[in-house]
Structure 1
Amino acid sequence: MAARDDEAGSGSAVGPEAGGRPEDEPGSGVMVAFGRQLKLLRLRAGLDRTEFGNRVGYAAQSVASFEQGRRIPQPGFIDQADPVLDAGGLLLALKEEVARAQYPAFFRDAARLEAVAASLHVYAALAVPGLLQTEEYARAVFTMRRPLLDDETVEQRVAARMARQKIFERKPMPTLSFVIEESALRRPIGGWPVLRGQLEQIVLHARRRNVELQVMPTDRAEHCGLAGPFNLIEKHDGRRMAYVEVQRDSRLHTELTVVRDFYEQYGLLRAQALAPPESLAFVEGLLGEKR
């Protein structure tokens, strides 16, 4: 099991791509419980799926998917369904848990911590980090995933990734930094138009006062990040964690000595990468190449 929130130790959780069905994925866990509750409330209200769907703006087929736990409802559906069914806040009370189910099981601990982090530092080696991705780029990333994800899961993952980006609007503003490999910025995932839009978004985020972007040039002779990408998360109480995701395995580290090593590694990466002003100029230069 992955380490939960601020527990001591470290752990790992295998994601749904491994072939299993983790708890809270569509079809199990909290989604089945939510669906059953939704159906009971609908029947108590004396509404068939079509009539209920008309009142909340959803097709009867979508309502059936929610009730059977096969599809994760958007927050707006829950906001409308609760008063229509006179649920007294029962469905609203499950809203946060349902929202967490948007993420693959192996990422949920990290997503919860990321959403309330005082500071977040990301080293990205293979692709643009999720927090910086455009919708088109994210969709291309999930579409390329193997084993293949079905279309509904792809759209669900894209929506969840976009929701994570609310961190940029949070108050108080978190401190965010990114070290991205040059190769990741040049790789045309989704095609050149998608990459161009992605680079434009990176430039916009890099100009935020609470964001520092650095590029790791491919021609660097010294590079301490060859073991792969990772994220560093610091809470407002000062506790620090490191999240590592490789292939189908993820691990949230909370042990002091392990996390300290990751912070040391990140500090060296920042020293070896281009400085933020140089990095911004570098990305703008890449944009110039693609026009």
Structure 2
Amino acid sequence: MPAKKDPDASENIPCFYGAELRYRREQAGLTLEQLAEGSYRGVSYLSLIERGERRMPIDLARHVDKTLGTDGFFERRCEDASKARRTGHSANFEDVPDLEKEAVSLEEWQPEVIPGLLQTEAYMRGLIRHGAPYTKPEAAEERISARMARAKLWELPDRPEYWGIVRESVIRNTPLSAAVMAEQLEHVSALIRSTESIFQIVPETTFWHPLRRGTAKIMTFADAPQLVWSDGNFVGQMIDYPPLVRQYRRAYDLLRAAALSPEASLTLIDEVARTYRDEADKEGRPA
């Protein structure tokens, strides 16, 4: 077995924070399992924090301080470590990219746009141009880079299973050019097929269905409770209250039944992509 690798505390603030957590834990003679006991988090979660790869949530910081007798040190410093990780994501979303990689399955509902993990760069630029035209160029580039970095999840050998659902209007009603939409839908189709993922479309003729308002990303983990991320135009929240998570779980399962089958959904995406591609080709031809 290879030797255990110590986190490099000099690399950045989260690594320094994680190295200190590991030092204090080992000084107390506790294993990760013992430190996690009594908290709402799993062992793998704590391990990621010690390696500087995850932010310490406030509830866990308080638990660690109480267990290790560190007089509030980790609670006081967890916000500093959090701020150091914020690049291209809003403060309330910053945990989501790491959670996506840690999850064993991701299930999401997006009624307005293509889900972020499936977006092309051109599509993302279009979203910013039409949805947030006041965004400064440097901030826009940070957001785009962060979004593209999230998509590296698809390259992981142990990537989570993925299931996405969108409304039909997402692929049909758009201010973006035919060329951008053709590329985007071709990308979705190829990615879903190559990764053996599932993608469904809720047809426009289905006016009433579960989760009509807002988004939902249900994240399932091997050794921790399910979490749900939901957002609107200017707000977002992580939901971990078990009864509410179960409500989202039941609503999402009903939403699957309201959508077209996975096969029919991909067929529709391919048909719409061809229509956009033909339109783009015509626009590119000389008069």
By the TM > 0.5 criterion, same fold? yes
Aligned length: 200
Structure 1 residue aligned with 2:109: 123
CA shift digits 1:95-119 (9 cap, x unpaired): 9975542312121122221122111
CA distance in 1, matches of 2:144, 2:84: 16
Q: Which amino acid aligns with 2:275?
A: E
CA distance in 1, matches of 2:172, 2:208: 20
Structure 1 residue aligned with 2:134: 148
Structure 1 residue aligned with 2:270: 284
| Superposed counterparts of 1:22-41, under 5 Å | none
Normalised to the residue count of structure 2, the TM-score between the two structures is 0.65
Distance 1:265 1:184, change over 3 A: same
The runs of 5 or more residues in structure 1 that have no matched partner are 1-29, 31-93
Structure 2 residue aligned with 1:56: none
What secondary structure does 1:236 align onto? coil
The answer to whether residue 246 in structure 2 is matched with residue 260 in structure 1 is yes
Q: 2:93·2:236 contact (CA, 8 Å) conserved in 1?
A: yes
The answer to whether residue 96 in structure 2 is matched with residue 110 in structure 1 is yes
Q: 1:173·1:210 contact (CA, 8 Å) conserved in 2?
A: no
CA distance in 1, matches of 2:175, 2:115: 13
The runs of 5 or more residues in structure 2 that have no matched partner are 1-12, 14-79, 279-287
- Greater than 6 Å deviation, 4+ residue runs: 94-97
Normalised to the residue count of structure 1, the TM-score between the two structures is 0.64
**107, 121, 127: which one aligns with 1:135:** 121
The answer to whether residue 266 in structure 2 is matched with residue 273 in structure 1 is no
Cα distance, 1:284 vs structure 2: 0.6
Structure 1 residue aligned with 2:54: none
Structure 2 residue aligned with 1:220: 206
Distance 1:199 1:218, change over 3 A: same
Structure 2 residue aligned with 1:231: 217
What secondary structure does 1:284 align onto? helix
| Superposed counterparts of 1:3-152, under 5 Å | 98=84, 100-146=86-132, 148-152=134-138
Kindly report the root-mean-square deviation, in angstroms, between the aligned alpha carbons of the 2 structures.
2.3
Q: Which stretch of structure 1 is more off in the superposition, 168-177 or 202-211? A: 202-211
CA distance in 1, matches of 2:195, 2:97: 23
CA shift digits 1:223-262 (9 cap, x unpaired): 1121222111112214201111112111100011000000
Structure 2 residue aligned with 1:86: none
Q: 2:228·2:240 contact (CA, 8 Å) conserved in 1?
A: yes
Distance 1:209 1:189, change over 3 A: same
